[in-house]
Amino acid sequence: MTTIRELSRRLGLSVSTVSKALNGYKDISPETRDRVAAVAGEMGYHPNALARALKTNRTYNLGVLFVDDDLSGLTHNYFAAVLDSFKVEAERGGYDITFINHNIGKSRMTYLEHCRYRNVDGVCLACVDFGAEEVVQLAMSDIPLVIIDHLFDDRSCILSENRQGMEMLVRYIHGRGHRRIAYLHGHRSTVSDQRVKGFLETMAELGLEVPEGYLRPSPYHEPAAAYQAVKRVLELPERPDCIIMPDDYAALGGIEALAEAALRIPEDISVAGYDGVKLIGRLKPQLTTVEQDTLRIGQEAARQLLKLIEHPRTARAEIVNIACRLIPGETVRDLKE
């Protein structure tokens, strides 16, 4: 590693002068500035991030925290897509990203402690459980922060329009002639609350009833649970003619249960998912679902966060809503034909 000292020696200048030349201070003559730049490039000099960060309190590192359980966050399609987009935008701004955890190897620490320990410039909280004390502690700290899919006082939040998405979906299903619509909502969270709200309100607006047992919980991303839940729903006195699954992935389990009951989709019963997972969109029959704009969610999260970091005086917390899109698919039958 070539250090700034070697560079200064080679140039016959002091360390301070070289540093200032590199950082665009204006009390350096244009000639030396150029000379420094030239030799620096030639020697492949890059300032040591650690030393610089120690002095400036800027690491150009962002912390990312997601899914509280250790149940494979990266293999979760929605989160992976959001993270990927977030990463691209962060890197564009010169930031690297690091995962926040409570390191088990050395001394265990809270999320907040980990952030301080690593001196991250900002944090992105995605898909995390705000029931956890540690998460709230972090969210209330003085670290620049952006939150995805959850509202928190005085914090920038990126919200996928879950209420509207669900409304769109229900109206679409209703428009195709369905009246008995069941909804397996995921475990409690801001996201679920919004979707359930959208479901109930829209059903009411449309003058549709939601019979006992038509609204039932079934955790996200768990096909096995959806499988069981669908079994239960099928035992109801009056079978729904359409079931909305917690998400696309869980839908696979639900669909399995329907197949076992010898119900054809969509001839005998209709089905819808949520998320718009690319892979599942390729299946036959193509799943009716609501696609979340993961690209914009991640991108907007990064932009908001960088804004907070780089303009701490002027930037204010902001709430950004990201629209979603209905994908009609083929699993909701048109009953009016």
Partner DNA sequence: ACGGTATACGAAAACGATTTCGTAATGGCT
Partner DNA sequence: AGCCATTACGAAATCGTTTTCGTATACCGT
Catalog residues that contact DNA under the rule CB under 7 A.
1, 3-5, 12-17, 19-20, 22-23, 27-32, 45-48, 51-52, 54-56
Q: Does 3 bind its own copies (CB under 8 A)?
A: no
Mark the segment that binds its own copies (CB under 8 A) among 92-100, 124-132, 181-189, 323-331: 92-100
Residue 319: which of its own copies, DNA, none does it interact with, CB under 5 to 8 A by kind?
none
Q: Does 252 bind its own copies (CB under 8 A)?
A: yes
Task: Check if the beta carbon of residue 86 is closer than 8 Å to that of residue 298.
Answer: yes
CB atoms within 10 A of CB 71: 10
Please state the closest distance from residue 160 (CB atom) to its own copies, in A. Answer: 17
DSSP letter (8 states) at residue 12: T
Nearest alpha carbon to residue 265 among 252, 246, 247: 252
Task: Check if the beta carbon of residue 142 is closer than 8 Å to that of residue 148.
Answer: no
Q: Does 314 bind its own copies (CB under 8 A)?
A: no
Residue 56: which of its own copies, DNA, none does it interact with, CB under 5 to 8 A by kind?
DNA
Nearer residue to its own copies within complex by CB, 75 or 314: 75
Grouping H, G, I as helix, E, B as strand and the rest as coil, residue 290 is strand
Q: Does 109 bind its own copies (CB under 8 A)?
A: yes
CB atoms within 10 A of CB 167: 21
Count, in order, helices (H) and strands (E) of the chain: 13, 12
Nearer residue to DNA within complex by CB, 14 or 101: 14
| DSSP string for residues in 110-159 | -HHHHHHHHT-SEEEEES--TTSHHHHHHHTSSS-EEEES---TTSEEEE
Please state the closest distance from residue 121 (CB atom) to DNA, in A. Answer: 14
Contacting residue, 154, 267, 279, 336, with its own copies by CB under 8 A: 279
Residue 50 to residues 21, 118, 161: CA-CA distances in angstroms? 20, 11, 40
Residues in touch with its own copies (CB under 8 A):
1, 44, 46-51, 53-54, 59-61, 70, 72-75, 77, 80-81, 83-84, 87-88, 91-99, 101, 103-107, 109, 113, 116-119, 223, 249, 252-253, 256, 259, 277-280, 282-284
